[in-house]
Amino acid sequence: MPKPAGYCNSPQRPVPIRLPAPSAPGQLKTNDEAPSIAGRMAVIELGRKAFLRLARIPIAKPVSAFLRNCALTRQRTKDTMLQDGGAATADTLIKETTTQSFMADVIEESKHQPVLIDFWAPWCGPCKQLTPILEKAVRAAKGRVKLVKMNIDEHPAVAQQMGIQSIPAVIAFANGQPADGFMGALPEGQVTAFIDRLTKGAPTGPAADLLKEAEAALVEGDAATAAALFAQVLGEDAGNITALAGLARCYIETGSLELATKTLALVPEAKRGDAAVTAAQAMLDIAEQAKSLGPLADLEQKLAANPLDHQTRFDLALALNAGNRRLEAVSHLIDIVRRDRKWNDDGARRQLVQFFEAWGAADEATIEGRKKLSSVLFA
């Protein structure tokens, strides 16, 4: 079978990672597309007051075991910056990485500035076309972004864990998390536009620090503190998409789904494809699904009486996810896919994909779920 133009089929066949497609170059938001500042601030202030009354809710957020096992050491020196404008040298902007150094080169480094990781292989023709385009665009960005290249023939583990099916595949990391990406050999103009979009709105200084603190608070289960920090960012920049999505996640974690819906409604249409927004929307959709499921014990008892009741097993998976028992939720949905892939119009697999989008690519349950789903689909 001939390979599609623009990318190569990988020897491994895991489920492809779902990432928002790059926007068309030059696509700008008009004032008409943006909700009023008064409308934004009304929701923000409502949220701030609501969270001051909320008790702290413990929320377990597992971290990828694979990433924990990666090397954590990283060398950072001041002599990598040029005197003229502070632009980094080409040697510091572009490098090769390994499985062992992936954590330091990509995850940790992305906490300081966006990092692109390029998955490639020597046998891939489109990879050879894309690499010089990527390198040229990264150098032209003058230190706003770094490029890390990984040969999947020599180091296949990361690509397998992330569900990369075709190469070339470029994933952008920011603040330690996958933020955007594309597959195939894009032309130079689209690669440049991709980098511009990734770096143009990147928060710096106090706002970036506040967003990091807010994310850390959410990981610790402190939704009230996280919401206050997100609201502080929005007080200075009412259009900050990351903060809006973060505030919506805080509402979802505390069961305030109506406020989460109102917060996400403030996101302009042109920004609905932002990774933070799609993740928050997926979380909201899942939470809405779980509202009418009934007690968890009743679902478990009903399934025990009839293990072939796929609808009950599906509902149980939603309820388990609502209780933050993600790996158990994955296990039940995988069981449905294994028993009857076509059930409910491929509903179990589609629900898994929605879970992965909501949890994020680096989440332990996402990584484990993609591996299990891949083994079932391609067995």
Decide: residue 263, CB within 10 A, 0-12 exposed, 13-18 middle, 19+ buried.
buried
Q: CA-CA-CA-CA torsion for 317, 319, 325, 328, nearest 10 degrees?
A: -20
How do 169-174 and 115-120 pair as beta strands? antiparallel
**Assigned token pair, 103:** 């954590």
Tell me how far apart the alpha carbons of residues 89 and 92 are, in angstroms, rounded to a whole number.
5
Q: Is-contact 174 202, C-beta < 8 A?
A: yes
How do 115-120 and 146-151 pair as beta strands? parallel
Q: At what angle do helices 241-253 and 275-290 cross, to 10 degrees?
A: 20
> Does residue 250 have an active-site annotation?
no
Q: Is-contact 146 174, C-beta < 8 A?
A: no
How many Cβ atoms sit within 10 Å of the Cβ of residue 225? 18
Cite the DSSP H helix spans in 166-322: 188-200, 205-219, 223-236, 241-253, 257-264, 275-290, 296-305, 310-322
> Does residue 124 have an active-site annotation?
yes
Tell me how far apart the alpha carbons of residues 379 and 374 are, in angstroms, rounded to a whole number.
8
Tell me how far apart the alpha carbons of residues 243 and 20 are, in angstroms, rounded to a whole number.
19
The residue from 8, 70, 127, 250 that is catalytic is 127
Q: Could you give phi then psi for residue 137, rounded to 5 degrees?
A: -65, -40
Q: Could you give phi then psi for residue 219, rounded to 5 degrees?
A: -60, -35
3-state secondary structure at position 209:
helix
DSSP code per residue over 149-164: EEETTT--HHHHHHT-
Residues designated catalytic: 124, 127
